[in-house]
Amino acid sequence: MNDTLTRSTAAEPAGLALPGRTVIRIGPVSAAVPARGVAVTLVALLGAVALAVVSVCHGDFPITPPAVWEVLTGGGTRIERHIVLNLRLPRVLCALLVGAALAVAGALTQTFARNPLASPDVLGVTNGAAVGAVAAIVLGGAVGAYGVPLAALGGAAISATLIYLLAWRRGIDGYRLVLIGLGVGEILGGITSWLLIRADLVDATRATIWITGSLAGREWAHVRPLAAALAVLLPLAMAASVALRVLQFREDTARALGLRLQSAQLLVVALAAALAAAAVAAAGPIEFVAFLVPQVALRLCGGSRPPLLASALLGALLVVGADLAAQIVIAPKELPVGLLTAMIGTPYLLWLLLRRSRRTSG
Amino acid sequence: MTSTPDLALRSGRRRRVVGLLGLLLLAVVAVLLSLGLGAQTLHPGEVWRVLLSADGSDASALVWELRAPRTVLGVAVGLALGVAGALIQGHTRNPIADPGLLGVSAGASFAVVVAIAVFGVDSFGGYIWFAFAGALVTSVVVFAVGSGGRNGPTPVTLALAGMAIGALLFSFTSSILVTSPETLNVFRFWVVGSLAGRDLDTAWQVIPFIAVGLVLAAANAPALNTLGLGEDVARALGQSVPLARVVGVAAIMLLTGAATAACGPIGFVGLVVPHLARALTGPDHRWLLPFAGLLGVVAVLLADVAGRLVARPAEVQTGIVLAVAGAPFFIWLVRRVRLVQL
């Protein structure tokens, strides 16, 4: 790498000379990067890749890493090729992408609403997707691999748009958006419950499995649209992080700092909603990830708002690890992946919470 | 407008007293509607007559056996949820906090699922103690975890702890549901929240807890006002912050635990009603709590009545009506009123 890494000194412009930050310069472009954040990001990347490899190798039919490599480069036996390429790889890729998408959506939402409790749920995405999917399953209109994901995507898009329009009143206020998101979420939750009561038990069970979030049986049909969506949305989200740096201040300050506030807000909300919707359409709502990961990333990296790249990689790490654990714990049966993300995430969040409150009070 | 602050204060007080009386009247009307309306409509005079003297007629049986229990329960649950919502929002200083926040719904739901899946319980009378125990244990754990620091529970740690533990319990609940369709079949009817099918015994089982919760809430109101000035100011004014928090959380636990145990998780009342009450009274909790309680009663009873009317002779569950009808109202409120900052 040709990047020049220099410790910030007093000679830097005042806004960049933050303690613990390193200034990266590539030609004329320079950015202040927290050194801790870079370390966390790299460790998360390595961890996610390592767990993905383990996940592809592990199963009823164990395959060694060299054999997997052989399959990926075009060799391997027929059964190995089938297991790796058709069964395990799509599932692992799906886990990685879903984790990254949910975590980034959560980071964007929490920064936008200036509320650590905000998650894509308040944008109506999860509840809207659930209504769409449950309606598709219960009313029986949806068929084929794409039916339920498409219905979920439709539900998410409609409810997110509705919430945004309802929250619009000479601009978008993060606080009002959260409140309206909660309100619409309640209606959608009510409709979902009502659909579940009306359904016969088989459909209700299918719908409940979907609502819980699952990575079992994911195929390339799930991975391809998700990957395409992320290829567009993730770079946009990274670009929007510049706008976010300003949005973290109160709105007046942001306006005074010269940001074109409305368009930046619309962009951030739309990106968060689209990322969450893509993830939820592929795997159902694995809700804990969007809420938890940005907070973990924030505490690991330091700073004042959840870092996007570290969140994405930690999210991928969490979901792929949870999915692996979900297959191992009560093998040969499987647990819902959402249970594992919660079981991994909850103690950690609580530990952070306790440690932080002890430190601030001690 | 009068120029002397004293007069302004007095007129504000009179406005609140009038408002409180108006709400009380509204609650009485809601009770009469709840007794009179349903698959079969009864004239208010007839309701009054059989209320005074049960005479063994069809109308009498309808009022006393079917509608009185759910009305009594509706009044108790409405009071509990409205007051608890106002307390939670006051203590966490989080305007989007609702009783689900302390893990109450998640804890009660998990306990009910365990009751169905492991112990084969399938009646409302049987759920109550499981739901209540689940709600109480969860709130105690959330409170203990959220108050890990020496300063006691801060609003943010409490909310985060509630959310984290709630998420964990939710996923335990859904893993049981996913693997056991029989459990799902019973649970899905509990989780929508309803006043239907409960007898008076159910109501009497939870009312003592709600009564104690209301007393604690009333005792907590002045302290909550002081806490609203900030913990440091409150301490300087001689307020014991940990004591105020413990009393408040005990009230919240009793109120929401009992309400959830009796009716399943009824959302929205605890979220919307305090906002509406605050718009009427301002931030003084001594006024806010009774307003929120009465508004809660009106909301729950009217939702229950509406649920009986829209799909006659079948009915739509109270929790669903509250969500579908309450949310647009809430959205209108959020858009229209500049919500009083906490």
DSSP-assigned beta bridge partners for residue A7: A22
Residue B155 has pLDDT above 70, yes or no: no
Total length of chain B: 342
Query: Mean pLDDT throughout B318-325?
Result: 85
Cα separation, B299 vs B309, whole angstroms: 15
* DSSP code for B293: H
Decide if B1 is inside a domain. no
* CB-CB under 8 Å, A339 with B192: no
CA torsion sign, A106 to B109 to B175 to A137? Answer: negative
* CB-CB under 8 Å, B96 with A193: no
Decide if B195 is inside a domain. yes
* CB-CB under 8 Å, A178 with B323: no
User: Which is more confidently placed, A243 or A72?
Assistant: A72
pLDDT of B6 reads 61
Over residues B19-29, the pLDDT tens digits come to: 889 889 998 88
User: Which is more confidently placed, B332 or A252?
Assistant: B332
Q: Which of B150, B175, B331 shows the shortest C-beta gap to A339?
A: B175
Residue B284 has pLDDT above 90, yes or no: no
A72 burial class (0-12, 13-18, 19+ CB within 10 angstroms)?
middle
Residues A346 and B165: beta-carbon distance below 8 Å: yes
Cα distance between the two ends of chain A: 43
Residue A1 has pLDDT above 60, yes or no: no
* CB-CB under 8 Å, A354 with B145: yes
Q: Which two tokens stand for residue A361?
A: 């009070």
Asked if A357 has any chain B CB less than 8 Å from its own CB, the reply is yes
Asked if B89 has any chain A CB less than 8 Å from its own CB, the reply is no
Residue of B nearest to A287 (CA): B167
Range of the domain at B333: 14-339
User: Which is more confidently placed, A146 or B340?
Assistant: A146
Residue A13 has pLDDT above 60, yes or no: no
pLDDT of A103 reads 93
Cα separation, A130 vs A132, whole angstroms: 5
Query: Mean pLDDT throughout B151-156?
Result: 63
Decide if A18 is inside a domain. no
- Count structural domains, chain B: 1
Asked if A342 has any chain B CB less than 8 Å from its own CB, the reply is yes
A184 contacts in chain B (CB < 8 Å): 327, 331
Over residues B180-229, the pLDDT tens digits come to: 888 888 888 888 888 887 878 888 888 999 999 999 999 988 888 888 77
- The CA–CA distances, whole Å, from A137 to A18, A191, B201 equal 53, 14, 39
Decide if B6 is inside a domain. no
Q: What is the overall mean pLDDT for chain B?
A: 82
Decide if A10 is inside a domain. no
Residue A10 has pLDDT above 60, yes or no: no
Decide if B9 is inside a domain. no
pTM strictly above 0.80: no
Residue A356 CB neighbours (<10 A): 16
In angstroms, what separates the C-alpha of B74 from chain A's closest C-alpha?
A: 19
- Three-state DSSP class for A25? strand
pLDDT of A201 reads 86
* CB-CB under 8 Å, A354 with B148: yes
User: Which is more confidently placed, B85 or A19?
Assistant: B85
Q: Which of B167, B322, B326 shows the shortest C-beta gap to A342?
A: B167
pLDDT of A21 reads 58
Residue A120 has pLDDT above 80, yes or no: no
| CB contact set of B66 (below 8 Å; sequence gap of 6+) | B38
Q: Above pLDDT 90, what percent of chain A?
A: 14
Give the model's confidence band at B84: pLDDT under 50 very low, under 70 low, under 90 confident, else very high: very high
Decide if A88 is inside a domain. yes
Asked if A209 has any chain B CB less than 8 Å from its own CB, the reply is yes
B94 contacts in chain A (CB < 8 Å): 117
Q: What angle do CA B243, B87, A292 make, to 5 degrees?
A: 95
Residue B9 has pLDDT above 70, yes or no: no
pLDDT of A101 reads 94
Pairs of residues, one from chain A and one from chain B, whose beta carbons lie less than 8 Å apart = 156
Asked if A290 has any chain B CB less than 8 Å from its own CB, the reply is no
Cα separation, B120 vs B261, whole angstroms: 17
In angstroms, what separates the C-alpha of B330 from chain A's closest C-alpha?
A: 7
Cα separation, B310 vs B150, whole angstroms: 53
Over residues A20-76, the pLDDT tens digits come to: 556 666 666 666 666 788 888 899 899 999 999 988 888 778 888 888 888 888 887
- Three-state DSSP class for B273? helix
Q: Which of A145-149, A231-235, B266-270, B333-337 has the least mean pLDDT?
A: B333-337
| CB contact set of B152 (below 8 Å; sequence gap of 6+) | B241, B242, B245
pLDDT of A357 reads 52
Cα separation, A68 vs A73, whole angstroms: 9
How far out from the chain centre does Cα A78 lie? 35
- The CA–CA distances, whole Å, from B11 to B22, B23, B281, B283 equal 16, 18, 12, 17
Cα separation, B171 vs B193, whole angstroms: 20
Asked if A211 has any chain B CB less than 8 Å from its own CB, the reply is yes
Contacts made by residues A2-10, CB under 8 angstroms, sequence distance 24+: A2/A26, A8/A32
Decide if A137 is inside a domain. yes
Residue of B nearest to A172 (CA): B335
Residue of A nearest to B157 (CA): A353
CATH of the domain at A259: 1.10.3470.10
Over residues B173-188, the pLDDT tens digits come to: 888 888 888 888 888 8
pLDDT of A239 reads 84
Beta strands in chain A (DSSP E): 4-7, 21-26, 29-34
pLDDT of B283 reads 80
Residues A72 and A92: beta-carbon distance below 8 Å: no
Q: A 291-310 residues with CB below 8 A of B?
A: 291-292, 295
A362 contacts in chain B (CB < 8 Å): 149-150
User: Which is more confidently placed, B190 or B38?
Assistant: B190
Asked if B34 has any chain A CB less than 8 Å from its own CB, the reply is no
Between A308-328 and A89-113, two packed helices, what is the crossing angle to 10 degrees?
140
Residue of A nearest to B158 (CA): A353
Phi then psi dihedrals of residue A6, to 5 deg: -125, 135
Residue B266 has pLDDT above 70, yes or no: yes
Residue B69 has pLDDT above 50, yes or no: yes
Decide if B121 is inside a domain. yes
Decide if B4 is inside a domain. no
Cα separation, A237 vs B16, whole angstroms: 49
Cα separation, B128 vs B211, whole angstroms: 17
Residues A308 and A241: beta-carbon distance below 8 Å: yes
Residue of B nearest to A184 (CA): B327
Decide if B7 is inside a domain. no
Cα separation, B94 vs B89, whole angstroms: 5
Asked if A338 has any chain B CB less than 8 Å from its own CB, the reply is yes
Q: Could you tell me whether strands A29-34 and A21-26 are parallel, antiparallel, or unpaired per DSSP bridges?
A: antiparallel
pLDDT of A251 reads 60
Q: What angle do CA A89, A95, A100 make, to 5 degrees?
A: 130
Give the model's confidence band at A360: pLDDT under 50 very low, under 70 low, under 90 confident, else very high: very low
Residue B270 has pLDDT above 60, yes or no: yes
B157 contacts in chain A (CB < 8 Å): 353, 356-357
* CB-CB under 8 Å, A349 with B160: yes
Decide if A63 is inside a domain. yes
pLDDT of A7 reads 40
Q: Which of B167, B175, B192 shows the shortest C-beta gap to A288?
A: B167
Q: ipTM of this model?
A: 0.76
How far out from the chain centre does Cα B178 lie? 29
pLDDT of B158 reads 75
Q: Which of A115, A116, A187 shows the shortest C-beta gap to B323?
A: A187
pLDDT of B152 reads 59
- Three-state DSSP class for B282? coil
- Three-state DSSP class for A4? strand
pLDDT of A362 reads 32
Cα separation, A103 vs A292, whole angstroms: 8
User: Which is more confidently placed, B152 or A41?
Assistant: A41
Contacts made by residues A112-115, CB under 8 angstroms, sequence distance 24+: A112/A174, A112/A177, A112/A244, A112/A247, A112/A265, A112/A268, A112/A269, A112/A272, A113/A174, A113/A175, A113/A177, A113/A178, A114/A174, A114/A175, A114/A248, A115/A174, A115/A175, A115/A178, A115/B96
| CB contact set of B4 (below 8 Å; sequence gap of 6+) | none
Residue B177: which of A214, A208, A135 has the closest Cα? A208
Q: How many CA atoms lie within 13 A of A28 on its CB side?
A: 0
A288 contacts in chain B (CB < 8 Å): 167, 171
Total length of chain A: 362
Residue B72 has pLDDT above 60, yes or no: yes
Give the model's confidence band at A14: pLDDT under 50 very low, under 70 low, under 90 confident, else very high: very low
B331 contacts in chain A (CB < 8 Å): 166, 180, 183-184
* CB-CB under 8 Å, B149 with A343: no
Give the model's confidence band at A329: pLDDT under 50 very low, under 70 low, under 90 confident, else very high: confident
* CB-CB under 8 Å, A194 with B164: no
* CB-CB under 8 Å, A179 with B330: yes
Asked if A329 has any chain B CB less than 8 Å from its own CB, the reply is no
Query: Mean pLDDT throughout B153-161?
Result: 71
Q: Which two tokens stand for residue A71?
A: 């399959």
- Three-state DSSP class for B127? helix
Give the model's confidence band at A124: pLDDT under 50 very low, under 70 low, under 90 confident, else very high: confident
User: Which is more confidently placed, A173 or A28?
Assistant: A173
Residues A36 and A299: beta-carbon distance below 8 Å: no
Residue B315 has pLDDT above 70, yes or no: yes
In angstroms, what separates the C-alpha of A54 from chain B's closest C-alpha?
A: 25
CATH of the domain at B333: 1.10.3470.10
* CB-CB under 8 Å, B163 with A291: yes
Decide if A238 is inside a domain. yes
Range of the domain at A223: 38-339
Q: B 246-285 residues with CB below 8 A of A?
A: 267-268, 271
Q: Which of A117, A166, A286, A291 to mutate to test the interface with B (most CBs of B within 10 A)?
A: A117
Query: Tokens 């007629």 appear where?
Result: B57
pLDDT of B154 reads 66
- Count structural domains, chain A: 1
Residue B263: which of B205, B178, B185, B184 has the closest Cα? B205
A319 contacts in chain B (CB < 8 Å): none
Helix (H) / strand (E) containing A270: helix A261-283
Query: Mean pLDDT throughout B139-166?
Result: 74
User: Which is more confidently placed, A172 or A283?
Assistant: A283
Give the model's confidence band at A16: pLDDT under 50 very low, under 70 low, under 90 confident, else very high: very low
